[in-house]
Structure 1
Amino acid sequence: PFLMRLYVKKDGDAGNEGKFRTKLEIMGEIFGIATENFNVTGKVVDSWYSSARFLGVNFTTELKSNRKVSIDHMGKMTRKNRDMFYTMDEILATTFTMFENNTDILGEFPLYNSFNAWLSCGQSVSVVVLYNPENKRKKFLASDYLQGDEIMKAWNNRWSIETFHNDAKDLGLGEYQVRDGKGCLIHGSITIAAYTLLSMMMKASKKLFGKVLKTIGECSRAVKEVLIIKKNYKSRLFSG
């Protein structure tokens, strides 16, 4: 993580953070800052942010099961042609062929299919449908510049915000009291800094702690043991 912004519900108190902004507006600002500071080759987002008008170009996104696409180029969806647009669930139910997923990517879905389609806004995309017949799990992915296995790989390699939420709880993200929105941002920024530092230390955990650590929680407890319990920080963490 490199940047965070505070989202407050419309009837909430944003304090000194100014007027209400939607999640898309906030994410748009973050995308803009990221583009200015990094060489951004593509964007990977979940279904919350899967608006083609918002994402622009070079995106990979998950589609909700009720999202409509057309198999034929019909332009934008209108009253006249809406019968030619189908939800992802409808497409899954009528897909004539599902192929075996031998890619070792998203292996929890043994069946998949890939095809070209058009979103309701008229945007051309490549769609990947993934399905597990045993537990009925399904996933729908789309991209305007990647195809097939490349879409699956991009989605599989994305940085998951759910993982950060779980790790941030271990770092005390939800255990604080502040007076206003600015305090929330400060506390969140401190949490991100700790998360980033621990992520870097985790990669060197064998050298720092004598064992390979695989989670932020394990790394946090190892640091606590070295610094607080054993007070061995000079020989371990700053040995050069």
Structure 2
Amino acid sequence: MMPITDFLSCTRVFDEFESLSPAQRHHAKTYATGLVAASNKTVAGIAREVLPAQGKRALNKFLTEYDWDERQFNHERLEELQKHGETRWSKKGYIILDDTITEKAGDEVPGVGRFYDHAEGDTVWGQDLIYAFYADDKTAYPLTFRLYEQQDEDNQNHDTKYDLAREIITELENEVGVPADTYLFDSWFAHDSGLPERIESYDKDWIGPLRSNRKVTYAGEEIRVDALAERIDTTERDIEDDTYHIWTKKLPVSQLGDVKLAIAEKEAEEDEENPVKYLATNKIDAPTEHVIRSYGMRWRIETFFEDSKQDLGLGDCEMQTEEGASRHWHLLMAAYSLVRLDLESSALGTVRSKASSLRANLEHSLKEAVYNLLSWVRDNDDRGVDDLMEEIDHLFVHSTADANVQS
């Protein structure tokens, strides 16, 4: 990987963050720039590849020892996003709740345990992070997270996933003030979690799928929701270029009370798996097309998980303290969000694409890193070409050699 000679322009917003001291802002810029542009997303890799860094030890102390409030830092990030039209949230947006597993090799990192990973279809050794994510038609970014720790014989006091999800909702509603009207979650969070009640206590709506064995009351009889298929007639409808077979009705559902139940099966190719969805919502009067289209926004958080693991080092954190890991994840959320901003001060002086793809934004940032390297060469015009090329060659070789040693 090429040496990164300057901070990415999107990190300049850290200069306004009161949660950080001037010295800490320098480290935050180093780390966020490294998460976006460095080939190695570890502390050692970032300290090596981002030339303005003040060394691995200083960067590690910033994450594990220095006194700064990452929760305040996160709230300042969200406040910054509201200053820009392309990232400003609205009542028509959605808050998505979901968790993701990041695989780990060792057993010294906080919260590590054996979890079932739906993406892998198997149990893996890793960390389980519960995220809240904002999405609407123009933007998408993470809001906050909690690390889930399994209960064990030595400690029975850990919060459950449900506890953490309700805690997230309270933070978003009482402290952050996200205006989005609707929460989306998967069937795990819709089952005996207390989430619908917590959401409704803030006069908000929710949409979530039911497991196929969930009990509903139909024609005076309590039956499994998947047994309804034998008793109903669906209607064919086209929604956003897809064809669905739909049935909907207000029904009592176990643990949820009266909800709008929508059974939807999308027509698919023969080799494409597409199970029936049993969607429940407290939006009793909402059109069925709106419920199905709204729930389709959940894919945005899956994209965040995939992109962040591949391109921003979500799974690369090996911090052995909970505070260090938490700060890594907070800085990652900042990096993910800030590369989406159209900064007039961008080194390239161009308008950034508003595409939802993180990869498009990362390509812009990498071009900026190349521009900064060329500018560094230009600004050293008092040195001979051979001297400059020797130093650049040393930086490349040094970076590659260290990366090979770490791998």
TM-score, scaled to structure 2 = 0.47
Aligned position for 2:248: 114
Alignment of 1:1-240 (within 5 A): 1-11=142-152, 19-36=157-174, 37-51=177-191, 53-56=194-197, 57=200, 58-72=205-219, 84-92=221-229, 94-104=230-240, 107=242, 110-121=244-255, 123-132=257-266, 134=270, 135=273, 137-146=275-284, 147=286, 148-158=288-298, 160-169=300-309, 170-201=311-342, 208=350, 213-227=355-369, 229-231=370-372
Q: Tell me, what secondary structure is at the counterpart of 1:185? A: helix
Contact preservation (8 Å) 1:45, 1:61: yes
Query: C-alpha separation between the residues in 2 aligned to 1:40 and 1:156?
Result: 16
Query: Which stretch of the first structure deviates more once superposed, 193-202 or 182-191?
Result: 193-202
Count residues with an aligned counterpart: 215
CA shift in 2, pair 1:160/1:46, >3 Å: farther
Query: C-alpha separation between the residues in 2 aligned to 1:96 and 1:159?
Result: 29
Query: C-alpha separation between the residues in 2 aligned to 1:233 and 1:113?
Result: 60
- State the structure with bigger RCO (CA 8 A, min sep 6), 1 or 2: 2
Q: Deviation per CA, 1:38-93, whole angstroms, max 9, x where unpaired?
A: 23523221112114743112221111122221124x6xxxxxxxxx222222123x
Q: Tell me, what secondary structure is at the counterpart of 1:199? A: coil
Q: Tell me, what secondary structure is at the counterpart of 2:304? A: helix
Query: C-alpha separation between the residues in 2 aligned to 1:190 and 1:13?
Result: 32
Contact preservation (8 Å) 1:115, 1:127: yes
Query: C-alpha separation between the residues in 1 aligned to 2:153 and 2:323?
Result: 14
Q: What amino acid sits opposite 1:166 in the alignment?
A: E
Q: What amino acid sits opposite 2:232 in the alignment?
A: F
Q: What amino acid sits opposite 2:181 in the alignment?
A: T
Aligned position for 2:394: none
CA shift in 2, pair 1:211/1:156, >3 Å: closer
Shift of 1:116: 1.5
CA shift in 2, pair 1:160/1:211, >3 Å: closer
Which segments of 5 or more consecutive residues in structure 2 lack a partner in the other structure? 1-141, 376-407
Aligned position for 1:79: none
TM-score, scaled to structure 1 = 0.76
Q: Tell me, what secondary structure is at the counterpart of 2:151? A: coil
Q: Tell me, what secondary structure is at the counterpart of 2:159? A: coil
Higher strand share: 2
Contact preservation (8 Å) 1:85, 1:120: no
Contact preservation (8 Å) 2:312, 2:332: yes
**Identity across aligned pairs (percent)?**
22
Query: C-alpha separation between the residues in 1 aligned to 2:289 and 2:235?
Result: 12
Contact preservation (8 Å) 1:201, 1:219: no
Q: Tell me, what secondary structure is at the counterpart of 2:147? A: coil
Q: Deviation per CA, 1:167-213, whole angstroms, max 9, x where unpaired?
A: 111101111221222222111111111111123359xx9x8367675
Contact preservation (8 Å) 1:66, 1:88: yes
Greater Rg over alpha carbons, structure: 2
Contact preservation (8 Å) 2:239, 2:293: no
Contact preservation (8 Å) 1:5, 1:26: yes
CA shift in 2, pair 1:22/1:226, >3 Å: same
